[in-house]
Amino acid sequence: MSDRTFYEKVWELLRQIPKGRVTTYGEIAKKLNTKAYRAVGNACNKNPYSPVAACHRVVNSDGRLGGFASGSNEKIKILRKEGIKVKNGGIIDFKKVLYKFDTK
C-alpha cells in the first residue's frame, strides 16, 4: 500500500463507504494513520472516480455536510437518494449512519 499516493489511498477508502452511510474526513485520516484532514478533503475534491469512489458520503465531524465539487445542493440530492436524511446543512441521526473503518 505504501507505493500508492495519498490521494489513491483516500479514493480506495471512499469505495468502501456503504450506500446509506456517511463517514468523516477525520475517520478517513484515522484509517490512514494521519492527521491530514485537509489533505483528505483535497483528495475528495480531486476524486476522478466519483460516484464509484463516493466522496459525497464524506462529511464534517459534527455531521455538517462540508464541501462537494458539484455543490452542496447536488450533495444533498445524492445523499437523500441513498436514504440519508439531511436538514439545515447537516445529517439527521448522524451517529446512526456514521461509518467507521476497521482500524486493525
Check which CATH number belongs to the domain holding 29 and give it: 1.10.10.10
pTM summary value: 0.91
Question: From the candidates 55, 65, 79, 97, which is the catalytic residue?
Answer: 55
C-alpha cell read off for 49: 472516480
Instruction: Provide the residue type at 10 as one letter.
Output: V
**Bridge partners for 23 per DSSP:** 58
Closest CA to 29 of 15, 46, 9: 9
- E strand or H helix that includes residue 59: strand 58-59
What domain range is 43 assigned to?
A: 6-94
Confidence of residue 33 (pLDDT cuts 50, 70, 90): very high
Per the annotation, the verdict on 55 as an active-site residue is yes
Instruction: Provide the residue type at 98 as one letter.
Output: L
Establish if 101 belongs to a structural domain: no
Establish if 103 belongs to a structural domain: no
The predicted-structure confidence for 46-74, as pLDDT tens digits, reads as follows: 999 988 999 999 999 999 998 888 899 99
Return the pLDDT at 17: 98
Rounded distance, CA 34 to CA 49, Å? 23
